[in-house]
Structure 1
Amino acid sequence: MSDITEQLLRGTSKGVGAKAALALEDGTVFFGAACGAAGEAFGEICFNTSLEGYLEVISDPSYAGQIITLTYPQIGNYGVNLEDAQSGKPALRGLVVRDMCATPSNWRSDMALGEYLERNGVVAIEGVDTRALVRHVRDHGAQRAIVSTVDDDVDSLLAKVRASASIVGQNLAATVSCERPYAHTAHDMPDSVRFALAEGPDARFSVIAYDCGVKRSILDGLVRAGCSVTCVPWDTPAEDVLAQHPDGVFLSNGPGDPDAVSGTYSQVGKLLGKVPMFGICLGHQMMGKAAGADIEKLKFGHRGGNHPVMNLLTRRVEITAQNHGFGVLFPSMGELVPDLSGGYTEHHDDLRFWVRAGIAPVVRNERFGRIRLTHVNLNDGTVEGVAFLDVPAFCVQYHPEAAPGPTDAHYLFTAFARLMEGRKDYLDIDIAADRLAGWRFGAEAAKELANA
């Protein structure tokens, strides 16, 4: 924080918080002011580019083990409405912002964001040049970091962060999963959004959801697709799940290194082919691991609400919400089937090759038969979705619940319902119409779209 900024703040009702520091393991250090709980926090530094929805980001269990940098300049201006929180308690290690609003204005606000962070023990720093920090992470990659309000000695901070644990190899899903099964129904959805969202349909499907750190909005999305949901712990045996005779099994989002979550993907391998399955984010990676795929750690991950994804089946581009630091390597899932891949026999690491070719390639997996690439990230050519052709299962790397983010991918909840109905065309959906489903204005808007 510059001297001029500090002088200006001292003359306002906000004032200047206690000194705070952020240090990265490569020696980069930023100084600012505390705007959350006092103390120190260690984690992997990452950044999220969403323009709104900071509470949903902060309360997403997938951020366990991480220090989040929010790139939008001012955070907290509309306060905190607790019904928007995605979990009972935030799992992130720390928060970095340019400016924290101390006096929010919103009819739904329960408290200021700084108060929420302090109540939940989240160490946070403001006054950081987040543009410079994000550029540094993009250039040099994700790395360990420390946020401290009690130590501003550079040598001390660097010694601490370099002695801290890496996120690689940690099973963080186990730290945010539920301890025992619980149900999620229409009665669990927040009352304060009923002015905008219509009532969901009656439950037609019984779904077991593996809770690896599931967001509440994802469960709401399943309920709005006609599912009665029972969440179970991350390592629940497949035999226990099948004994309940569900119509489908859902694999949730979650934090950390997917290679470390063997208690989930080992069970997924037993479930595939026995029951219709849908996975997102970590759930996508769990399906990949069950099929023998290799996992890569991305340089700085995909986090935000503006990531373009090509749907290879419909040739539509979806603007998606994402939050992950690891990804599945599609070529490792099997050899290409030339007859179903435009005659091609060679894999390409950059999957945008298939976007340009206009082909949704298929591989032959040793364990589960044919698997089709369905979605590709247009920023870096990584895999964003696959569909199993010989067993009823599909998965995507991004977040269709869009909390926060656009609703382009809402159709995937509908697709899961159609998969449980036994339809072969479950992914053949007009996403432009489906994204309006569930909103109170949706029926009229869909009617206008159909008549256009």
Structure 2
Amino acid sequence: MSKISDKLLAGTSKPTRVPAKLALADGTIWAGYSCGATGEVFGEVCFNTSMTGYLEVATDPSYAGQIVTMTYPQIGNYGVCPDDVQRDHTALRGMVVRDMCYTPSNWRSAESFPAFLARNGVVGIEGIDTRALVRHIRNAGAQMAVLSTETLDDAQLLAKLAAAPAFVGTNYVEQESCDEPHEYTAENVPAGHQFAYGKAPEAKYHVVAYDCGMKDGILENLVRVGCRVTVVPWNTPAEQVLAMHPNGVFLSNGPGDPDAVEGTYSQVEKLLGKVPLFGICLGHQMLSKACGCTIEKLKFGHRGGNQPVMNLRTGRVEITSQNHGFGIVYSSLGELVPEESGGIAQHAEDLRAYAEAHVAPVVCNEKVGRVQLTHINLNDGTPEGIACLDIPAFSVQYHPEAQCGPTDAHYLFAAFVRLMDGRSDYLDIDIAQDRLAGWTFAEQKEAQHA
């Protein structure tokens, strides 16, 4: 930056600039300025394409061990509302933005986002070309990086990065899960959300939720469909869960490599067929691994609130919120059953072929019988959801609670209740109707025109 630009910035709300650098494992270096805590952190660099929801991203435990790049150009303009945090701490290592706003404007805002990052020890960098960085990650793939306000020498940064622990193979779930079982009921729902949501219904079912790094928004949505939730640590023995006599078991989202979370999927294997199961994100991978599925590392993953997913059972397309860098290999679950797969006998390399054929394929699995592919990602054809047809269990790869993101997939919480009701058509829900369930905006509009 020139002396003239420094002089111009001095007359704005921007603070005194502290240099910072981001170095990638492939040797690429990006220079910018600090916009959060100062320090030096290591993690896998990734990107999120959401236009809003930076606070939810910063407090989502699924980002443990990662440095997140926000693709939207200005971050922080509506500030921070404490009721919207997804956990009581931040899990991500660092935040990368094009331009950080220090003077937010929003009636719900309690502080600025850079102040929140600094207070929570999250190192941030602004002033770099995030579009170019995202293109680089898309081409080169997600990789380890170091973000620093302390070491500005390129050679020293890369040397430190080379000695940092790898992201793959590390169990981040252990550090993000709760320590002891606890209850979550309607009384725990933030009062600050009442301006938008109606009152939660009386609890109909008791659900035990494995906390693999769960977002509070998920618990809130379970409560809003009539569940009383007992949250348990990630490695709670299946026998202990069954002793609670739950109506269903929920498998939460969470960070990192699914293969490193043996303490969860080994317990899920013992629960198969004994109680209705619903998993999202990492929970989807835990259910799949319990069925013997292979997991693969995606080149750069899916992170953002605008991922198109098709429900192959209904043909409806949902715009979804996602945050994951690993995915399941559907073909590893077993051979196709042609008579239940539209006559198709061989697995498709690109799963979008099933969308074109209007087929939700079914495989024969050694452990649980028939497993149907229920959802696929329309951007790249990766699997996004499965349903076990011979036992009560289903899962999706994305985040249906919409923190942050659209509400198209909210119906999956209602589907879980229908599964606990014993209905075989639990996934066949009109999302156009369900996506507005529980919101008060329509009621307020009707009252204004009465």
| Aligned counterparts of 1:396 and 1:162: Cα–Cα separation in 2 | 35
> SS at the partner of 1:342?
coil
| Aligned counterparts of 2:351 and 2:252: Cα–Cα separation in 1 | 24
> SS at the partner of 1:417?
helix
> SS at the partner of 1:344?
coil
Does the aligned pair in 2 maintain the 1:213–1:253 contact within 8 Å? Answer: yes
1:337 paired residue number? 337
1:381 to 2:393 alignment: no
Q: Which amino acid aligns with 2:131?
A: R
1:70 paired residue number? 70
| Aligned counterparts of 1:257 and 1:407: Cα–Cα separation in 2 | 27
Q: Which amino acid aligns with 2:400?
A: P
Does the aligned pair in 1 maintain the 2:291–2:333 contact within 8 Å? Answer: yes
Change over 3 Å in CA distance of 1:444–1:422 after alignment to 2: farther
1:86 to 2:86 alignment: yes
1:222 to 2:209 alignment: no
- Worse overlay, 159-168 or 363-372: 159-168
| Aligned counterparts of 2:426 and 2:445: Cα–Cα separation in 1 | 23
2:197 paired residue number? 197
| Aligned counterparts of 1:295 and 1:445: Cα–Cα separation in 2 | 46
1:449 paired residue number? none
Change over 3 Å in CA distance of 1:3–1:430 after alignment to 2: farther
Q: Which amino acid aligns with 2:377?
A: N
User: How far does residue 15 in structure 1 lie from its aligned partner after superposition?
Assistant: 3.5
1:114 paired residue number? 114
Does the aligned pair in 2 maintain the 1:204–1:228 contact within 8 Å? Answer: yes
| Aligned counterparts of 1:220 and 1:414: Cα–Cα separation in 2 | 13
> SS at the partner of 1:124?
strand
* Percent identity of equivalent pairs: 65
User: For residues 61-85 of structure 1, what are the alpha-carbon distances to aligned partners after superposition, in whole Å with 9 as ceiling and x for unaligned?
Assistant: 0000000001111111111111100
1:47 paired residue number? 47
| Aligned counterparts of 2:321 and 2:445: Cα–Cα separation in 1 | 23
1:17 to 2:17 alignment: yes
2:28 paired residue number? 28
| Aligned counterparts of 1:441 and 1:429: Cα–Cα separation in 2 | 22
User: How far does residue 442 in structure 1 lie from its aligned partner after superposition?
Assistant: 4.5
Does the aligned pair in 1 maintain the 2:13–2:103 contact within 8 Å? Answer: no
| Aligned counterparts of 2:327 and 2:374: Cα–Cα separation in 1 | 15
| Aligned counterparts of 2:444 and 2:36: Cα–Cα separation in 1 | 44
| Aligned counterparts of 1:190 and 1:359: Cα–Cα separation in 2 | 41
Q: Which amino acid aligns with 2:327?
A: G
| Aligned counterparts of 1:162 and 1:47: Cα–Cα separation in 2 | 21
User: How far does residue 189 in structure 1 lie from its aligned partner after superposition?
Assistant: 1.1
User: For residues 110-151 of structure 1, what are the alpha-carbon distances to aligned partners after superposition, in whole Å with 9 as ceiling and x for unaligned?
Assistant: 111111111111111111110110010001000000110111
| Aligned counterparts of 1:371 and 1:266: Cα–Cα separation in 2 | 19
Change over 3 Å in CA distance of 1:442–1:203 after alignment to 2: farther
User: How far does residue 384 in structure 1 lie from its aligned partner after superposition?
Assistant: 0.2
Unpaired stretches in structure 1, ≥5 consecutive residues: 447-452
| Aligned counterparts of 1:380 and 1:250: Cα–Cα separation in 2 | 27
1:450 paired residue number? none
Q: Which amino acid aligns with 2:78?
A: Y
1:175 paired residue number? 175
> SS at the partner of 2:136?
helix
| Aligned counterparts of 1:67 and 1:149: Cα–Cα separation in 2 | 14
| Aligned counterparts of 1:7 and 1:169: Cα–Cα separation in 2 | 47
User: For residues 140-167 of structure 1, what are the alpha-carbon distances to aligned partners after superposition, in whole Å with 9 as ceiling and x for unaligned?
Assistant: 0000001101111000001111211111
CA-based RMSD of the aligned residues comes to 1.3
Unpaired stretches in structure 2, ≥5 consecutive residues: none
Does the aligned pair in 2 maintain the 1:43–1:167 contact within 8 Å? Answer: yes
| Aligned counterparts of 2:371 and 2:13: Cα–Cα separation in 1 | 59
Q: Which amino acid aligns with 2:108?
A: R
Does the aligned pair in 2 maintain the 1:83–1:192 contact within 8 Å? Answer: yes
| Aligned counterparts of 1:160 and 1:260: Cα–Cα separation in 2 | 25
User: How far does residue 6 in structure 1 lie from its aligned partner after superposition?
Assistant: 3.8
| Aligned counterparts of 1:5 and 1:45: Cα–Cα separation in 2 | 29
Does the aligned pair in 2 maintain the 1:304–1:323 contact within 8 Å? Answer: yes
User: How far does residue 7 in structure 1 lie from its aligned partner after superposition?
Assistant: 4.1
| Aligned counterparts of 1:317 and 1:31: Cα–Cα separation in 2 | 40
> SS at the partner of 2:363?
strand
Does the aligned pair in 2 maintain the 1:87–1:215 contact within 8 Å? Answer: yes
1:153 paired residue number? 153
| Aligned counterparts of 1:373 and 1:151: Cα–Cα separation in 2 | 48
> SS at the partner of 1:43?
strand
Per the normalisation by structure 2, the TM-score is 0.97
Does the aligned pair in 2 maintain the 1:6–1:16 contact within 8 Å? Answer: no
User: For residues 282-327 of structure 1, what are the alpha-carbon distances to aligned partners after superposition, in whole Å with 9 as ceiling and x for unaligned?
Assistant: 0000011001110010000000000000110110110000000000
| Aligned counterparts of 1:259 and 1:15: Cα–Cα separation in 2 | 43
1:264 paired residue number? 264
